[in-house]
Amino acid sequence: MNLDDTIVAIATPPGRGGIGVVRLAGPEARAIAAPMLRLKQPLKAGRAIPCDLIEPATTQARIDEVVVTYFAKPHSYTTDDIVEISAHGSPVVLRHIVELSLARGARLAEPGEFTMRAFLNGRLDLTQAEAVRDLIDAQTLFQAKVAAQQLDGALSNRLKPIKRELVDLIALLEAGIDFAEDDVSIAPDATILDRIAQVKAPLTQLAATFAYGKIVHQGLTLAIVGRPNVGKSSLFNRLVERERAIVTAQPGTTRDLVSETVAIGGIPVELVDTAGIRRALDEAESIGIKKSMEALADADLVLVVIDKPQPLSQEDQELLRQVQGRPVIVVENKSDLLRTSNARVGADAPSTSSGQTLVRPSRAEPGRVSPAEPRSPQHIPTSALTGEGIPALRAAILHHVAGDSTTQLESGFLTGVRHQKLVNDALTALDAATTAVAARVPHEMLLLDLYGALRPLDEITGATTTDDILNLIFGTFCIGK
């Protein structure tokens, strides 16, 4: 890639808006921009200056009133000279600025080329460059905060002491080999094993953060399942906080999947409301139930909704058996009706709007799974009608995602599959090195395993990389970023 030419692109999203920005970066940025601007004062680094955008011809007719900002090298995003022209967000005007720039020798920027230049010029390391994309793609404020921390070098800073420890060990062994004739002592096996363990311990902790980091980055899919008329759609609407799914007293109202993405604890959660699971009464319901089972299989977390005032039905018990071993929360819905029925002990039990008779369950109700039983899923009493228990349900969902370590994981953790694979590759090489020490393998061969652990860590931050990795990462950027 030529880093000596000047590139140009529209740096704001496509479409019309109040403001649109065209960015020029390179040694000729000021010279290319000057003829199309009628400046009221000279450009000064780091200062926004109002001026007119004009046709760089004899008429010099005004096209728009713009604001120009100049960033002098190396104090800019790419470390080049950068000129940003903020015009009114008309696609016609923005394209015309680009065309004028191209006519004066600029080149149209490739996708992600501004950030690519920042990386190649040492302004960002690879984890920070990837964080730029994550920040742009963030769907929640928490995702944006995590990306901003990565952009500040949180992951790189966590890796630095690990790499330093590994490099020190490599240097120790190299010195013992290269300068043996100078009476440089060879490190004993116990010392080497201890030093390898000091590298592995924090690296293992970092690898363990991927389970949470992946969900922070990609979000979570949550399926709400249960038999008809237990309140799945009402619960879905409560979590979405609007009337998204149709709710009626008629069992089997939901025939197709209804999905919506919400933020729970800053994590994007795709909620999927499903058709009631029972023996289908017609072909349409059969197809809906089949889709429900597919959504259940694909979900990261399952909410099994049961009607708390009623004994567990055969459908409830069968569904609970199907989700054994899966991440599951049992939602005991309609808890408000149970409380009402308890207050009327001795009186005739009322009926629900759907005609179901309310039955007060006993403490040892047959078939009901007790939360106290080993390995039983967590039970959360809720009322989709009144909102009772919904905060506790949100907290339980978040706990399934992050456990008790959310605050500890807010800085410097793995969010990408590429990072996770490279950390695991480094750990595999360190395991091989540990085995080699135990087998009394010569240090020359042991060093191959240690270098094998260092290379993946270098690739995370971009110290060593390939064109394929760069193209894969920066190719996902949009033009102008």
In a domain, 468, yes or no: no
Question: Are 267 and 170 within one domain?
Answer: no
Query: Comparing 154-158, 159-163, 180-184, 395-399, which segment has the lowest mean pLDDT?
Result: 180-184
DSSP for 443-460, please give it. HHHHHHHHHHHHHHHHHH
> d(Cα 235, Cα 106) in Å, to the nearest integer?
56
Residues 356 and 427 in one domain: no
Which residue is listed with tokens 């889709």?
A: 291
Return the pLDDT at 410: 54
Alpha-helix runs per DSSP H in 369-474: 390-402, 417-438, 443-461, 467-474
**Residue 290 CA: distances (Å) to CA of 3, 33, 242, 275, 278:** 55, 61, 26, 9, 11
CB 173 within 8 A of CB 192: yes
Q: Do 345 and 450 belong to one domain?
A: no
Residues 157 and 245 in one domain: no
> What is the pLDDT averaged over residues 12-34?
94
Q: What local confidence, expressed as pLDDT, does residue 373 receive?
A: 43
Q: What is the pLDDT of residue 407?
A: 45
Q: Which band of pLDDT confidence, cut at 50, 70 and 90, is reported for residue 60?
A: confident
Tokens of 214: 């992946």
Assess whether 349 and 275 both reside in one domain. yes
Q: The tokens of 12 are what?
A: 């704001």
The percent of residues above 70 in pLDDT, for the chain, comes to 79
User: Mean pLDDT over residues 420-428, rounded?
Assistant: 96
- Side-chain half-sphere exposure of 1, counting CA atoms within 13 A: 21
Of 54, 89, 123, at which residue does a domain stop? 123
Residue 375: count of CB within 10 angstroms of its CB? 6
Instruction: Assess whether 203 and 102 both reside in one domain.
Output: no
289 shares its domain with 226: yes
Instruction: Read off the pLDDT of each residue in 436-453 and give the average, rounded to a whole number.
Output: 92
Higher pLDDT, 319 or 349: 319
Domain tally, the chain: 3
| Residue 138 and residue 263 in contact, taking contact as beta carbons nearer than 8 Å | no
Residues 72, 163: one domain? no
Please report the pLDDT score of residue 457 as a whole number.
93
Burial grade of 322 (CB within 10 A; 0-12, 13-18, 19 or more) = middle
To which H or E segment does residue 249 belong? Answer: none
CA nearest to 172, candidates 186, 193, 153, 157? 186
Distance CA 295, CA 289 (A): 10
Note if the bond before 456 is cis, omega within 30 degrees: no
State whether residue 23 is helix, strand or coil.
strand
Determine if residue 22 is left, alpha or beta; phi over 0 gives left, psi from -120 to 50 gives alpha, anything else beta: beta
CA gap 184, 309 in Å, rounded:
78
The model's pTM is 0.72
Name the more confident of 76 and 402.
76
Residue 369 lies in a domain: yes
**pLDDT-above-90 percentage for the chain:** 35
Domain membership of residue 244 (yes or no) is: yes
Average pLDDT value for the chain: 81
pLDDT of residue 285: 61
How does residue 428 score in pLDDT terms, banded at 50, 70 and 90? very high
Who has greater pLDDT, 102 or 319? 102
Q: Is the pLDDT of residue 363 over 60?
A: no
Q: What distance, in Å, lies between the first and last C-alpha atoms of the chain?
A: 17
Report pLDDT for 185: 60
Q: Average the pLDDT over 231-250 and give the result.
A: 73
- Average pLDDT (56-63) is 83
Pinpoint the alpha helices (H) of 121-231: 126-137, 141-151, 154-178, 189-208, 210-218
Cα 80 from chain centre: 31
Do both 286 and 238 map to the same domain?
yes
- Here the CATH number for the domain that contains residue 379 is 3.40.50.300
Instruction: Quickly list DSSP for 101-148.
Output: HHHTT-EEPPTTHHHHHHHHTTSS-HHHHHHHHHHHH--SHHHHHHHH
| 217 in a structural domain | no
Structural domain that includes position 373: 222-402
The closest alpha carbon to 368, from 417, 420, 308, 424, belongs to 308
Q: Parallel, antiparallel, or unpaired: how do β-strands 62-71 and 82-89 relate?
A: antiparallel
Give backbone dihedrals phi and psi of 201, rounded to 5 degrees, phi first.
-60, -55
Rg (CA), the chain: 31
CATH code of the domain containing 35: 3.30.1360.120
Shared domain for 336 and 267, answered yes or no, is: yes
**pLDDT reading at 425 higher than 80:** yes
Quick: pLDDT tens for 297-333: 888 889 898 888 888 888 888 888 888 888 899 999 8
State the pLDDT confidence band at 370, using cuts at 50, 70 and 90: very low
Token representation of residue 265: 């604890």
Provide the pLDDT for residue 413: 84
184-223 pLDDT, tens digit per residue, is 567 888 999 999 999 999 999 999 889 888 888 888 888 8
Contact 279, 262 (CB under 8 A): no
CATH number where 204 lies: 1.20.120.430
Q: What is the pLDDT of residue 368?
A: 39
- Residue 277 resides in a domain: yes
Asked whether residue 473 is domain-assigned, the answer is no
Residue 255 confidence (pLDDT): 53
Residue 205 sits in the same domain as residue 171: yes
Q: What is the pLDDT of residue 350?
A: 44
The listed range with the strongest mean pLDDT (156-160, 229-233, 360-364) is 156-160
Does 260 score more than 90 pLDDT?
no
Q: Report residue 78's pLDDT band, with 50, 70 and 90 as the boundaries.
A: very high
- Look at residue 278 and tell me whether its pLDDT is greater than 80: no
Q: Which of 299, 373, 369, 380 is nearest to 335 (CA)?
A: 380
Only one residue has tokens 């599959």, namely 417
Predicted confidence at residue 307, as pLDDT, reads 86
Range with lowest mean pLDDT among 7-11, 304-308, 335-339: 335-339
Does residue 259 fall inside a structural domain?
yes
Domain boundary among 402, 423, 449: 402
Same domain, 272 and 390: yes
Residue 242 lies in a domain: yes
Picking from 402, 432, 447, the residue at the C-terminal end of a domain is 402
Q: Which residue in this structure is represented by tokens 């009394």?
A: 440
Tokens of 278: 């029972």
